Structure 1
Amino acid sequence: MEKIKLLLVDDQDLIRESLKIVLEMEEDFELVGVASNGQEAYDQAIKMRPDIILMDLNMPVMDGITATKLIKQSYSDVKIIILTTFQEVDYVKDALKNGAEAYLLKAIHPNDLASSIRLVNRGETLISQVLARQLLSSIPDEKAEETLNKKYGLSEREGDILKSIANGLSNKEISEKYYLTEGTVKNYVSRLYAKLDVTNRLDAINKIKGEK
């Protein structure tokens, strides 16, 4: 079994040690390094070439957003999960715009964290449901939904999936909700992105809100 190589970045010793215990319990994970600030994260990312980096935001020397941007510029294949206590929408936008694949809160259950890591490793973009709902302050009413669907040529199912994305559901959760395979959901999402002329979930959500 090929393991998912992880780099853990957090400036708090207790958090780092706790996460190490959680991550090392998973048979398909391999913790290849730990770092206490963004500069160390950058150095270790280039040296260790992890598959996924769990990145804190507020750290000394170099913050997580800056580290994410620099790492992505030098090593675009690595996937970065922001794991933080900050729930401000602006942080989410900055993180995703600078290349992060996911933005999760440290209050996440260990089992959900492990599942999220696997989803991101398979190419998913994830946002904590609490934050996704803040990004989309209100779901459009039926008339607004119909107008939106017509404007972008969305089918009824694509409109349903767009709403699910706005509510922070992963592809797996959408597949379970509508009794579809994950592959089918991925195809719907790809067509949806093409019609909206976006490339990720944040831009799709902003499209609904009329943000450019």
Structure 2
Amino acid sequence: MTIRVLLADDQDLLRRGFKMIIDAQPDMETVGEAADGAQAIAQAAALRPDVVLMDVRMPGTDGIEATRHIAAHLPEVKVLILTTFDVDEYAFTGLRAGASGFLLKNVRTEELLTGIRTVAGGDAVLAPSTTRRLLDTYARTFHAPEAGLPPKDVLDPLTQRERQVFTEMASGRTNQEIADRLVLSETTVKTHVARILAKLRLRDRVQAVIFAYENGLSAPGR
């Protein structure tokens, strides 16, 4: 199936560059463009793309608010946030607003395409090293409970094995890394991840990490 992508960025040159890359792929096509958040919301509603490649800083309605609206009203449309290293806090805010991941604007072409395919497939773009640094830096900003306190039974729906997998997910590890650490097959890990997300009513792995921080199940440096 062809992955339908909406580009939301106030820089025309960047949109053109992304469009050329995306349209050159046999499994992707650009279905629309938006120069601000309001246009992104309208285009997402009208076109129902699989993925919105969303800039953060745009005039008027910014990418964060647009992401929040799309996640709330168009849950089948996935948002992939674009940001720069200098404003990582926007990436974290975007993830909390409902984005399925984030990429830096200086991302390599292969990483951009992999990110789009990953998000379109229902998973999240969660680069462990970048995500851990990002959350370690900004987790306290959102007043998460202190790690080590009782988790208020938020993990009660999970089995013991699912709790182990959740702990690894909260550390930003990939399915393969989790499989290696717990001596499981990657397929088994994928099954556990799907069950965990369903039981905790989480959208994807990114939301699982944020859930862990907000409930005091993980903290900077852990």
> Which shifted more, 110-119 or 168-177?
168-177
Residue aligning to 1:141 = none
2:89/2:134 contact within 8 Å kept: no
Percent identity over the alignment?
35
2:68/2:98 contact within 8 Å kept: yes
Secondary structure, aligned partner of 1:127: coil
* CA deviation after TM superposition for structure 1 residue 125, in Å: 2.2
2:165/2:192 contact within 8 Å kept: no
Secondary structure, aligned partner of 1:31: strand
Deviation string for 1:147-194 (max 9, x for gaps)?
Answer: x9xxx688589647634652x344356457777554322223245558
1:15-30 equivalences under 5 Å are 15-30=14-29
Residue aligning to 2:167 = 162
TM-score by length of 1: 0.75
Q: What is the number of residues matched between the two proteins?
A: 199
Residue aligning to 1:134 = 134
1:116-127 equivalences under 5 Å are 116-127=115-126
Q: Does 1:14 align with 2:13?
A: yes
2:92/2:134 contact within 8 Å kept: no
- In 2 relative to 1, CA 136–25 (structure 1 residues): closer, same or farther, beyond 3 Å? same
Residue aligning to 2:217 = 208
Residue aligning to 1:44 = 43
Secondary structure, aligned partner of 2:217: helix
Unaligned runs of 5+ in 1: 138-143
Secondary structure, aligned partner of 1:80: strand
2:165/2:193 contact within 8 Å kept: no
Matches of 1:69 and 1:46, distance apart in 2: 13
Residue aligning to 1:100 = 99
2:82/2:105 contact within 8 Å kept: yes
Matches of 2:71 and 2:26, distance apart in 1: 27
Secondary structure, aligned partner of 1:82: strand
TM-score by length of 2: 0.72
1:9/1:54 contact within 8 Å kept: yes
Higher relative contact order (CA 8 A, sep 6+): 2
